[in-house]
Amino acid sequence: MIEYRLNGPASQERQRIRLMAALRENRFPQSILIDGPAGIGKKALAIEIAKALQCSDASHRPCGHCFGCKMATDIGVTDNWLIPMESAEAHTRSAASVSAGSNAKTIEDFKQAYIEEIFKNPYRVDVFGAGAEISVGLIRSMTNAFALKGDRVRVVIVAEADRMNDSAANAFLKTLEEVPPDTYFILTTSSREKMLPTIRSRCLALHLLPLSDDEVRSETLRLLGEDVDADDVTDDVVGLSVGSPGKALYYVGTGKKWCDLAASFVKESILAHYTELFRMLADAEVDEVTEACRFLEVLSFLLSDLLRAKSGAKLRIPATTAQVNIEAFPQIDVNALERAVSVVQETMNRVSSRRTAPPMLLQSLAIKLFEGYK
Ligand SMILES: [Zn+2]
């Protein structure tokens, strides 16, 4: 009997056991949808599965060195992936239709650059730009490639599958309705609710869990390599990442900025020092929707932590929470904090709706945050 062994963090072992059993019993579904929070390793698991399905070793799969394993991890085999792309990239010509000797970048070149990034660090949450999507053209080139079928098992990893636009989703659904023999689709998403229900229902659902804090710390250090001091992966960075090494990597770089700003924002808002507060916001350059949302996320984390402090619960971002020194403001009680959490949530919704510029919304948040408790 062939033994299957998918590698990954201990926190996700239960999900992998399910998959390994299906592989061993030769009943692996032709399409599977891995969902879970951003940056927890859904693509990493998809790559493990792709290797296991394509491996031809007689006893242990994936073996890591057979032809199938090599194909599954070769960044040049761009047919293995369906990924979101910027419209200009998706409209470049295919290598097959470019004349020999041409220097023009092909769609495969762009795709390969993304795939290379994924292999370097499958946890990264910012590989694709905000405007990138999976277009119907990309789905068509995938199905065209199916016509050139060789005799090997084919696995297509669909990264961030929720980024299919409507026509792409409908075209993909048709493919799922009649999956070619020996072909497997592994879809990943952190926004399952944005996908067509008809696509979801045709895939086996696999909900991947966040990592433990210790795993986040060790994975983050491993990915950062020698460029980083272990002290940079602080408790607050791990706390903010909520089980996601991808988010931790982001916060190692910018977490301190958002944490410091959030702590000052809370203090100055209680003290009604608006001039200083508005100047701080201007200096922090939170003009973009994405930036403003990151800041509001951290602010919301901080307020929840201040609530936890009231009940003596364990803090997620202890250093930032201590910066506020909430004992100095006895009027800020549990009610004030609970109200503040919902005011931040409201602002986050308004920022995401993109109707008003983020700086305006943040200024009015500063005034409203502890209204009635100042
Ligand atoms: Zn192999």
* pLDDT tens-place string over residues 81-124: 999 999 999 989 888 777 777 788 899 999 999 999 999 999 99
Is residue 150 located within the same domain as residue 50? yes
Query: Over pLDDT 70: what percentage of the chain?
Result: 99
Range of the domain at 357: 213-368
User: Of the residues 158, 175, 207, which one is the last residue of a structural domain?
Assistant: 207
CATH number at residue 160: 3.40.50.300
Residue 309 CA to ligand 1 center (angstroms) comes to 51
Residue 281 CA to ligand 1 center (angstroms) comes to 53
Residue 374 covered by a domain: no
Beta-strand pair 3-4/60-61? parallel
Residue 3 CA to ligand 1 center (angstroms) comes to 12
Residue 373 covered by a domain: no
Residue 67 CA to ligand 1 center (angstroms) comes to 7
pLDDT digits (tens, 9 = 90+) for 6-23: 999 999 999 999 999 999
Beta-strand pair 204-207/31-35? parallel
- Give the CA dihedral 116, 117, 120, 126, nearest 10 degrees: -160
Packing angle of the helix pair 358-368, 274-284 (nearest 10 deg): 150
Residue 26 CA to ligand 1 center (angstroms) comes to 17
b/e burial code for range 104-114 (CB count within 10 A of at least 16 → b)? eebbbebbbeb
Q: Which residues contact 15 (CB under 8 A, 6 or more apart)?
A: 45, 206, 207, 208, 209
Is residue 120 located within the same domain as residue 229? no
Residue 185 covered by a domain: yes
DSSP summary character for residue 73:
T
Contact 151, 65 (CB under 8 A): no
Res. 42: pLDDT tops 90? yes
Packing angle of the helix pair 358-368, 334-352 (nearest 10 deg): 170
Residue 244 covered by a domain: yes
pLDDT digits (tens, 9 = 90+) for 299-331: 999 999 999 999 999 999 999 999 999 999 999
Residue 15 CA to ligand 1 center (angstroms) comes to 21
Is residue 171 located within the same domain as residue 269? no
Integer Cα distance of 253 and 250 in angstroms: 6
